[in-house]
Amino acid sequence: MDNMKFFVTGGAGFIGSNFCDHLLGMGHEVVCFDDLSTGREFFMQDALKDKHFRFIKGDIQKFEEINGALQESKPDWVIHLAANADVRGGLKQPRKDLDVNTIGTWNVLESAKNAGVKKILFSSTSAAYGAPAIFPTPENAPFPEQTSLYGASKAAGEGLVSAYSHGYGMTSIVFRFVSIVGARYTHGHVFDFVKKLKQDPSRLEILGDGELVKSYLHVQDLMRGLWLTIERVEDGLIKDAFSVFNIGNDSSIIIKKSAALIAKRMNVTPDFTYTGGKRGWIGDERVELDTTKLRSLGWQAEHPLEQGILDTVDYLLHHPDLLVRD
Amino acid sequence: MDNMKFFVTGGAGFIGSNFCDHLLGMGHEVVCFDDLSTGREFFMQDALKDKHFRFIKGDIQKFEEINGALQESKPDWVIHLAANADVRGGLKQPRKDLDVNTIGTWNVLESAKNAGVKKILFSSTSAAYGAPAIFPTPENAPFPEQTSLYGASKAAGEGLVSAYSHGYGMTSIVFRFVSIVGARYTHGHVFDFVKKLKQDPSRLEILGDGELVKSYLHVQDLMRGLWLTIERVEDGLIKDAFSVFNIGNDSSIIIKKSAALIAKRMNVTPDFTYTGGKRGWIGDERVELDTTKLRSLGWQAEHPLEQGILDTVDYLLHHPDLLVRD
């Protein structure tokens, strides 16, 4: 395959910076577009040394910024990872998910169309299934009932990606992620637990009853999954306007077990307390995705779920500055 | 049931004005909120004579306008019908569906929350199913793949309604409509065909091959369906945060047959020509909805599908001024 040019929104964030490094490692050209609201220059320190890498500071919420950057870059692919990922905060800032994840995605799509880009990869989420009735949940699960503004905003983003692809002759790939863990991870359960235990190793309050089933995937397994679908499009094996893939670990873990694993790795023995109720917050749902479709292309998770959690704990303990930021 | 206060967005439009009249006929208080972009004062002529009716000119795209109107009105129910319904025009104005149907719906929801409104009814569409794989399509059909910006924007609106309802303790009802016909009908296939045949009775060009299956429901049948669910909420028989109902005729008709029916009613014998292809435009999909769920509450369509089309032709022929506007 010839080298290509990738435009990565959110390229300074956890997943984005890992994907930029992954692409650069294969010799591709990468334009990273990020407003550094949650992304970090620190995550780009290797990439910035590569002559095939360029960073553009900009905000997908500002049409002129993303449109200008795409006009200038004219990439082969847009990898749209920029998002508001603060799932729990939705009800406190009810416009934010709409602004970033839905309207922001429209801005990216319209700009991509204007720049003649024909290939799009978009990161959606298991939360797009709302409160699913089937586990593990397949891509063609029943029409979702949204329980969080985050899930609603990402499902809306998917719909826009699909309508643009059908309407303007693009090829798009949408991934629905479980929680991703590994190096540069900066939010979610593991982050919250490590942070709390660093502050007070004697106790850990868990939102909900601790029994909710979750799945975690190592970011390196995610990288290979994303790349595999790009290869299939380039090889002409994926030709549909719109394809959606679940990606996650085939094993799962309940929250209280993951908390116990984290405490053990940190050599602390907290008293666990529970706020009670099935969910930690409204929209906090059981996550187990059926990944048969992606595995049929030849992908599988290589890192056991527990290893992903432990690697993340180690990474956070070695980068205590990351824990300062909420 | 005591009289209640209803706030109807899009209340001067085809469906909205019929619903305002329906509510006023039962003695309820009605506030109609409409920007008159496609709604018409003419449709409110009876309502305006009723002391229980009030019209507020305003645009759901302007948060201050809808928020102010809801603060002032403090209704029991918000009936959110205002929408951009120009399905075919989406690709020419790709921001419009997002602005009106998604962001506009967010504005209505946030304003309703601010005004303490706890009950919402929202008009969605069969287009929210994208290109469904199952016919007749049930409410829990597989996760949709959107093929039109209109469908994407309405599905996104549904997601917002659902997330708001779960998040802020509202009760919401979403209806997915087939094409609605009857008095005050002002857009869609029947409108287009009548308009074209008035201009030139010798020929009728049909977009696509004419074989696409569509369903039409008489607006009076729709009124009874909407009202039935409101009654069920008021009776405490519908308690879920979010409920979705298909509404449509159980029979269906292919486009070329409906065109022939219209021509016959107009006493014209045009040559029919077809632009070819399964769809009239990208996102033009087969429509047959499974209405088992709504029928289980006691509803059924009383007007045969053909009667709905013929009544609409008659109505348009008696109101030729409506055909002038596109």
Kindly report, residue by residue over B271-304, the tens digit of the pLDDT: 999 999 988 888 889 999 999 999 999 999 999 9
- Residue contact B166–A242, C-beta within 8 A: no
Q: What is the mean pLDDT of each run of 10 residues along chain A (326 residues)?
A: 93 98 98 96 96 98 98 98 90 96 98 98 97 96 97 98 98 97 90 94 94 94 98 96 96 94 96 92 91 97 95 94 76
B211 and B222 co-located in one domain? no
- Within a domain: A273: yes
Query: A175 with A124: CB under 8 angstroms?
Result: yes
Q: Which residues of B touch A152 (CB under 8 A)?
A: 156, 159-160, 162-163
- Residue contact A167–B144, C-beta within 8 A: no
- Residue contact B94–A110, C-beta within 8 A: yes
pLDDT, residue B325, reads 62
pLDDT, residue A1, reads 72
- Within a domain: B294: no
- Within a domain: A94: yes
Q: What is the DSSP letter of B209?
A: -
B110 and B231 co-located in one domain? yes
pLDDT, residue A325, reads 62
Cα end-to-end span (Å), chain B: 41
- Within a domain: A292: no
Instruction: Extract the runs of DSSP E, i.e. beta strands, from chain B.
Output: 5-9, 29-34, 53-57, 77-80, 119-125, 171-177, 179-181, 203-206, 213-214, 216-218, 242-247, 253-254, 271-274
- Residue contact A155–B155, C-beta within 8 A: yes
B98: closest chain A residue by CA: A103
Domain carrying residue B228: 5-180+218-247
pLDDT, residue A216, reads 95
Q: Binning pLDDT at 50, 70 and 90, where does residue B305 land?
A: very high
A155 and A67 co-located in one domain? yes
B105: closest chain A residue by CA: A98
Q: Which residues of A touch B149 (CB under 8 A)?
A: 160, 163-164, 167
Cα distances (angstroms) measured from residue A212 to each of A274, B144, B167: 12, 27, 19
B130 and B158 co-located in one domain? yes
Residue A289 near chain B (CB below 8 Å): no
For A258-262, B23-27, B84-88, B311-315, which range has the lowest pLDDT when averaged over its residues?
A: B84-88
- Residue contact B160–A139, C-beta within 8 A: no
A193 and A111 co-located in one domain? no
- Residue contact B143–A145, C-beta within 8 A: no
> Which residue carries 């527990």 as its tokens?
A306
Residue B283 near chain A (CB below 8 Å): yes
pLDDT, residue B2, reads 84
Burial of B208 (0-12, 13-18, 19+ CB in 10 A): middle
pLDDT over 60 at B326, yes or no: no
- Residue contact B167–A129, C-beta within 8 A: no
- Residue contact A106–B95, C-beta within 8 A: yes
Residue A182 near chain B (CB below 8 Å): no
- Within a domain: A271: yes
Partners of A136 in beta bridges: none
Please report how the helices B305-318 and B189-199 are oriented relative to each other, as an axis angle in degrees rounded to 10: 50
DSSP per residue over B25-53, as a string? HTT-EEEEEE--SS--GGGGTTGGGSTTE
Query: Is omega for the bond preceding B136 within 30 degrees of 0, making it cis?
Result: yes
B97/B108 Cα distance (integer angstroms)? 15
Of B187, B196, B212, give the one whose Cα is nearest residue B280. Answer: B212
pLDDT, residue A69, reads 98
- Within a domain: A103: yes
- Tell me the CB-side half-sphere exposure of residue B48, using CA atoms within 13 A: 10
B228 and B169 co-located in one domain? yes
pLDDT, residue B50, reads 98
B222 and B208 co-located in one domain? no
B211 and B242 co-located in one domain? no
- Residue contact B106–A129, C-beta within 8 A: no
**A-B C-beta contacts closer than 8 Å:** 134
Residue A25 near chain B (CB below 8 Å): no
Q: Binning pLDDT at 50, 70 and 90, where does residue B81 land?
A: very high
A149/A186 Cα distance (integer angstroms)? 21
Q: Which residues of B touch A151 (CB under 8 A)?
A: 159, 163
Phi first, then psi: give them for residue B135, nearest 5 degrees.
-135, 135
User: Which amino acid is it at A88?
Assistant: R
- Within a domain: B227: yes
- Residue contact B167–A139, C-beta within 8 A: no
pTM of the full structure? 0.96
Of A176, A183, A172, give the one whose Cα is nearest residue A154. Answer: A176
Residue B277 near chain A (CB below 8 Å): no
Residue A103 near chain B (CB below 8 Å): yes
- Residue contact A139–B143, C-beta within 8 A: yes
Residue B142 near chain A (CB below 8 Å): yes
- Residue contact A283–B167, C-beta within 8 A: yes
Q: Binning pLDDT at 50, 70 and 90, where does residue B76 land?
A: very high
B144 and B187 co-located in one domain? no
Q: How far is B258 from chain A (nearest CA, A)?
A: 27
B96 and B176 co-located in one domain? yes
pLDDT, residue A186, reads 86
Tens of pLDDT, residue by residue over B120-148, are: 999 999 999 999 999 999 999 999 999 99
B157 and B209 co-located in one domain? no
Domain with residue B140: its CATH number is: 3.40.50.720
Q: How many domains does chain A have?
A: 2
Query: B217 with B291: CB under 8 angstroms?
Result: no
Query: Is omega for the bond preceding A142 within 30 degrees of 0, making it cis?
Result: no
Q: Which residues of B touch A102 (CB under 8 A)?
A: 98, 102, 156
- Residue contact B156–A159, C-beta within 8 A: yes
Q: Token pair for residue A176?
A: 């629905």
A263 and A124 co-located in one domain? no
- Within a domain: A173: yes
Q: Which residues of B touch A153 (CB under 8 A)?
A: 159
Phi first, then psi: give them for residue A6, nearest 5 degrees.
-115, 135
> Which residue carries 């309820």 as its tokens?
B28
